[in-house]
Structure 1
Amino acid sequence: MDLLQLNLNRIIQWCERFKLNLNVDKCCTVTYTRTLTPLNTSYYIDDHLLEKKHSMKDLGVWFDAKLTFLPHLDNVCSSSLKSLGFVMRISKYFSDISLIKKLYYAYVLSKVEYACLIWCPIYASHAIALDKIHRRFLKFLSFKVDGIYPEIGINQLQLLHRHDMVSLSYRRDQSYAKFVYKLLHNQIDCEFLLSKIPIYVPRISSRSDVSFRPPAARTDVLRRAPVNIMCKAADRIFDDIFA
């Protein structure tokens, strides 16, 4: 803990040296742990005690102390529903379905899928909350075409097939698979992340068709780790990701 405070002091000295001012009011501390009794340590910047918080927003993603990403999921659902309402209101008199879809992709799905590799919903309840947004838009499209809303309990796959769309889970898999593809084909330059990819080299007589062999996940944290998620998605999407 003393080492962390020492590093903070060095950062402050570096900022003072190059005439950079830190906004201390925007600085805080978050302890990432799942223990019931986390270490309670105070940190200072210029004798200013840093506020302790249970969550913080970094590059548009809310990180909570237990890394469950529940605050971010709640924020995504709330913000996406508001944007969906906006899209439905302004497209009230539109007859071009393709135009309405473009508005949905731009204003709603852009929020639902932003940085999803980081906060991937691994629990069914979280995925269902996101799917409800997708389902509501699909039923709105059916209303625009037929003049009436679909019956309650209509099959989701039927709605997706009718409007030539795919599920959010499949779109997430595509996004994860594309990321690892770009990483392996040098379209994303990150040596550290590339070194963490568990490439599977099978025996000559092996019948295994997977490209990766991530370690068995015994905890929820490891199961939702970005490397595990994108490797499994790549095996599902690509027949041969190295081709």
Structure 2
Amino acid sequence: MITDLGIVFDRELNFHAHLDKMCCKAFTTLGFIRRICNDFSLVSSLKTLYCSFVRSILEYGLIVWDPVTACDMMQVKRVQRKFLNFAAYKLKIDHPPHDYTPKMQLFSLFTLNDRRLEANLTFLRRFIDGHIDSPELLELIKFEVLSFHARLLILFSVPKCNTNYLKNQPFYRMMSIANKNPSALLYY
């Protein structure tokens, strides 16, 4: 089943088919970039190509399909690692094998997981600030109102979830992320 966003659901209502399709498309685009970059020798040009053509594929609609299993996260992470290996080889950067931190710092890239967290918090912040207008969705956000002064700051009331499907529902996930680090919501 394909939705309006082009996101594909499986029979089990997970996004494995979408992740496969998205990663395949990202690898194909990365292969094209590798073929046309013979004469490129600047970090900025390689980063611009990756961010605009490949990473945009990996991040399209991620508020809806944010991967939750380690296997799904690894599948998405593999694309960025392949780019980092290619870029390090292309620019003749000496790097230890399987350590992607120096390469990410050189390119000023964040992990895809950090970008997904940032995107969730940014969406929630824009939603609360009224930049996104949807009264039906606004009803899903439950603010926590404490009757006493507590040291622990909890912004949202997230219900107890019996299943992972409910726990990873986009608004519950965003509210849980904001509750773990409330100050991060203020900066986005």
TM-score exceeds 0.5:
yes
Q: Which runs of 5+ in 2 are unaligned?
A: none
Higher strand share: 1
Q: Please list the CA deviations of residues 55-109 of structure 1 after superposition, one character each: whole Å capped at 9, or x if unmatched.
A: 3343211122321111101101111100111112212211121121111111111
Q: Which runs of 5+ in 1 are unaligned?
A: 1-54
Q: Is the 8 A contact 1:173 1:234 kept in 2?
A: no
Q: Please list the CA deviations of residues 215-235 of structure 1 after superposition, one character each: whole Å capped at 9, or x if unmatched.
A: 122212112201012222334
Identify which of 151, 157, 180 aligns with 2:101: 157
Higher helix share: 2
Identify which of 160, 177, 185 aligns with 2:129: 185
> Counterpart in 2 of 1:90?
36
Identify which of 92, 95, 100 aligns with 2:46: 100
- Over the aligned positions, Cα root-mean-square deviation in angstroms equals 2.1
**TM-score if structure 2 supplies the norm length?**
0.89
Identify which of 174, 182, 196 aligns with 2:140: 196
**TM-score if structure 1 supplies the norm length?**
0.70
Distance of aligned partners of 1:71 and 1:240 in 2 relative to their CA distance in 1, 3 Å threshold: closer
> Counterpart in 2 of 1:7?
none
Structure 1 CA distance, aligned partners of 2:175 and 2:101?
Answer: 26
Q: Report the structure number with the largest CA radius of gyration.
A: 1
Structure 2 CA distance, aligned partners of 1:167 and 1:240?
Answer: 17
Segments ≥4 residues shifted beyond 6 Å: none
> Counterpart in 2 of 1:207?
151
The letter for the 1-side match of 2:26 is S
1:101-116 equivalent positions in 2, closer than 5 A: 101-116=47-62
Distance of aligned partners of 1:242 and 1:169 in 2 relative to their CA distance in 1, 3 Å threshold: closer
Which is worse superposed, 181-190 or 203-212? 203-212
Which is worse superposed, 184-193 or 99-108? 99-108
Distance of aligned partners of 1:100 and 1:206 in 2 relative to their CA distance in 1, 3 Å threshold: same
The letter for the 1-side match of 2:31 is G
